[in-house]
Structure 1
Amino acid sequence: MSLDETDRRILSVLQKQGRISNADLSERVNLSASACHRRVQRLEADGYIRDYVALLDARKLNVPTTVFVEITLQAQADEVLDAFEKAVSRIPDVLECHLMAGTADYILKVVAENTEDFARIHRQHLARLPGVAQMQSSFALRTVFKTTALPV
């Protein structure tokens, strides 16, 4: 299925306002409520809309510190990569893990209360990850821009 301009408008609105009512959405994208509802259902069924979530405030949840951790593994064998990925996916403080091309094998996005909490996460979890040869952590001083909305 290819997306037309109306589908793109629907996706754009839903990315920013996931709880918008179908009536309000249909008005925003200039469709009847029933046509809008059918399109949203099709976008969900076809996998364009993967899920609906609540975006939480890290400060209010007392995890305002973001740390980016670059990890280099000892080897690139499939079993080493698989073991690392399985282990890192179980660490609740790790929000993202990306396999990289470049100087590091992986980049992790980790949240913590502060530097002491990150030291705990490092000791209890990161330092125990299998196959790690080198790790470098960079603390974000301030988030300048952040979005979850993909360009449609």
Structure 2
Amino acid sequence: MTIDKTDIRILQLLQENAQFTLKEISQKINLSMTPTHDRIKRLENEGVIQKYVTILNKKMIGNPLTVYCSISLDKQQKNHFEEFEEAIKQFPEVIECSVISGSFDYMIKVIAKDMEAYNEFYQKKLSDLQSVAHISSSFVMSEVKNTTVLPL
């Protein structure tokens, strides 16, 4: 799939505000509504646009604590990776999970109400997974930059 300058502008606008109307996007890119609609549908169908979401303020919904956990598994075996990944997908506190290189196997991003809630998650869920050998937690003191906008 080829993405041209007009597609890039559409993607930039939608990342800025997914609630822009078709009319607003059309006006901003100087294109009529039908071809603008066709381009957006093509970007959706091709998987460039995966989904539209609402980003919530963590503090205002009562989950201000962010923790990054570096995790090592006890054995580097396929079934251990699969077991860990399936378990992590079930934990609503985990909002990101990535396989990483280096000293650890995974990096997860955890959101919690407070230290007590994180400790409960840590003890009753995360450390309870049989394949987990080591967990290193880093607590976010303040966020310097937090965006979902990808550079295009």
Structure 1 length as normaliser, TM-score? 0.98
Please tell me whether residue 78 in structure 1 is matched to residue 78 in structure 2.
Answer: yes
**Runs ≥4 in structure 1, deviation > 3 angstroms?**
none
Match of 1:123 in 2: 123
What secondary structure is seen at the aligned counterpart in 2 of 1:121?
Answer: helix
Distance, in Å, in 1 between the alignment partners of 2:129 and 2:13 is 40
Match of 1:146 in 2: 146
Aligned pair count reads: 152
Offset from partner CA, 1:101-122 (integer Å, 9 cap, x none): 1111000100011111111111
Distance, in Å, in 2 between the alignment partners of 1:117 and 1:30 is 50
Match of 2:112 in 1: 112
TM alignment of 1:55-74, pairs within 5 A: 55-74=55-74
Query: How far does residue 130 in structure 1 lie from its aligned partner after superposition?
Result: 2.9
Match of 2:95 in 1: 95
Distance, in Å, in 1 between the alignment partners of 2:133 and 2:105 is 10
Distance, in Å, in 2 between the alignment partners of 1:128 and 1:67 is 18
Distance, in Å, in 1 between the alignment partners of 2:5 and 2:130 is 46
Match of 2:136 in 1: 136
Query: How far does residue 7 in structure 1 lie from its aligned partner after superposition?
Result: 0.3
Match of 1:45 in 2: 45
Distance, in Å, in 2 between the alignment partners of 1:51 and 1:120 is 32
Query: How far does residue 151 in structure 1 lie from its aligned partner after superposition?
Result: 1.1
Offset from partner CA, 1:4-45 (integer Å, 9 cap, x none): 000000001101110100000011111111110110011111
Match of 1:16 in 2: 16
Query: How far does residue 144 in structure 1 lie from its aligned partner after superposition?
Result: 0.6
Distance, in Å, in 2 between the alignment partners of 1:124 and 1:57 is 26
Please tell me whether residue 54 in structure 1 is matched to residue 54 in structure 2.
Answer: yes
RMSD over equivalenced CA pairs, Å: 0.7
Structure 2 length as normaliser, TM-score? 0.98
Query: How far does residue 149 in structure 1 lie from its aligned partner after superposition?
Result: 1.0
Offset from partner CA, 1:94-152 (integer Å, 9 cap, x none): 00000001111000100011111111111121111231111110100001101111111
Distance, in Å, in 1 between the alignment partners of 2:40 and 2:130 is 42
Offset from partner CA, 1:57-96 (integer Å, 9 cap, x none): 1011100000000100111111110000001110010000
What secondary structure is seen at the aligned counterpart in 2 of 1:68?
Answer: strand
Distance, in Å, in 2 between the alignment partners of 1:40 and 1:21 is 12
